[in-house]
Structure 1
């Protein structure tokens, strides 16, 4: 009974933090009215909706607040008001997804980004997608981390004139735990059940290392095998407390 009342109290408290004006505008702008009226996306706190003219899809049963931009699920409780959304390309949600406070998300025209069920980006996180980014189910990204699938500017070999790859996909497997201040760059691929240590730079395909691995460093390398977050226990807690 205590747990039930606590859950009800938490949800009521959460609803007071929703920016209802931006929430209603976003849903009506992004979805057909039959879907928008269910308010599948909640916007929390201040955010600049610079551009949301892209193709936003939800490929899962529609429920209110299943996607939370600025959702307060971390220890810090104050929005600085620097959150910004630019969605010109295609953004696909495969289920419930959480974004922490003061995020920056940019999806360029013709780019594609996909979020698996219960994937997340913690506070002060950054995603810049100019090509393709895919996050698996329960891929949890820590605070101040960034995913960037482009080099922005064309680099060349000064002797041969060969052009280096400008942009390449990022594909993160399911049940990945990315710690804080991690940079995930173009052409990064991780297996499922991969943990990435804090202050790491990822820039290649790590899938050959197998599952249940810890990688870290600049650039990332294998630190330990046969290690994983206790997903069996934490999955239940995440589902209980993060699903609105």
Structure 2
């Protein structure tokens, strides 16, 4: 790609400069903000009172949110909410039509070189960690909370309602995958398209993980009580 082609391909950066400058100096220490490590493209910012933490040397455009990577989705940028902590350990690119929400008790951590092509949805209210060299296809969702809890019919127990998510390094998450609470993926794996994961995956590295059949987890003794539904997340 020639110089002119590179300039044309990255012309969005020019329009992103003003909102990115404001965001960086509002949320980062001056020494980091001056390098403009976070670039925002068509960002719709909700409550961003949380912390943005870099555990690596910063440089211009190290983190890109809302990049228009895939033509199949509207060029709608990104919705970003952070009331907890978002931790960066290196290069990150999150594509257009994406949304990230981090609650007050949430810690969302990205490793070195994490790329999400488009329409990524993350709801982090406890802990989600994506390690190094991870590629995420479009229409993927990661949620570490149920937002509700389930009671047992004996009235003495109820579900915890949240749990950590961790994806090992060098993993490819194909399109339309869903990772829910307690999902743990070993390193060097491929998660096939349309896979739904609800807990730890017991496999060796270099495995292909897919969802082939539906499984009934529990048939009796559990229900949703809409009048007693609040989850109390405990941060260790």
> CA–CA distance in 1 between the matches of 2:199 and 2:115?
22
Q: Report the equivalent of 1:36.
A: 33
Q: Within 5 Å, which residues of 2 pair with 1:41-60?
A: 41-44=38-41, 46-60=42-56
> CA–CA distance in 2 between the matches of 1:217 and 1:68?
31
Relative to structure 1, the CA distance from residue 66 to residue 189 in structure 2 (aligned partners, 3 Å threshold; closer, same or farther) is same
User: How far is the alpha carbon of 1:165 from its aligned partner?
Assistant: 2.1
> CA–CA distance in 2 between the matches of 1:68 and 1:95?
11
Q: Within 5 Å, which residues of 2 pair with 1:74-153?
A: 74-76=70-72, 78-81=74-77, 83-153=78-148
Q: Residue 209 of structure 1: SS of its match in structure 2?
A: coil
Q: Residue 152 of structure 2: SS of its match in structure 1?
A: coil
* Deviation string, structure 1 residues 152-185 (Cα, Å, up to 9, x no partner): 0111122454211210000100011001111100
Q: Residue 179 of structure 2: SS of its match in structure 1?
A: strand
User: How far is the alpha carbon of 1:9 from its aligned partner?
Assistant: 3.3
> CA–CA distance in 2 between the matches of 1:137 and 1:179?
16
Instruction: Give yes or no for contact 1:113–1:133 (8 Å, CA) kept in 2.
Output: yes
Q: Residue 212 of structure 1: SS of its match in structure 2?
A: coil
1:70 aligns with 2:70: no
Instruction: Give yes or no for contact 2:47–2:83 (8 Å, CA) kept in 1.
Output: yes
Q: Structure 2 length as normaliser, TM-score?
A: 0.84
Q: Between Structure 1 and Structure 2, which shows a larger proportion of helix residues?
A: 1
1:183 aligns with 2:189: no
> CA–CA distance in 1 between the matches of 2:203 and 2:58?
37
> CA–CA distance in 2 between the matches of 1:25 and 1:37?
11
Structure 2: 5+ residue runs without aligned partners? 216-236
Q: Structure 1 length as normaliser, TM-score?
A: 0.81
Structure 1: 5+ residue runs without aligned partners? 222-244
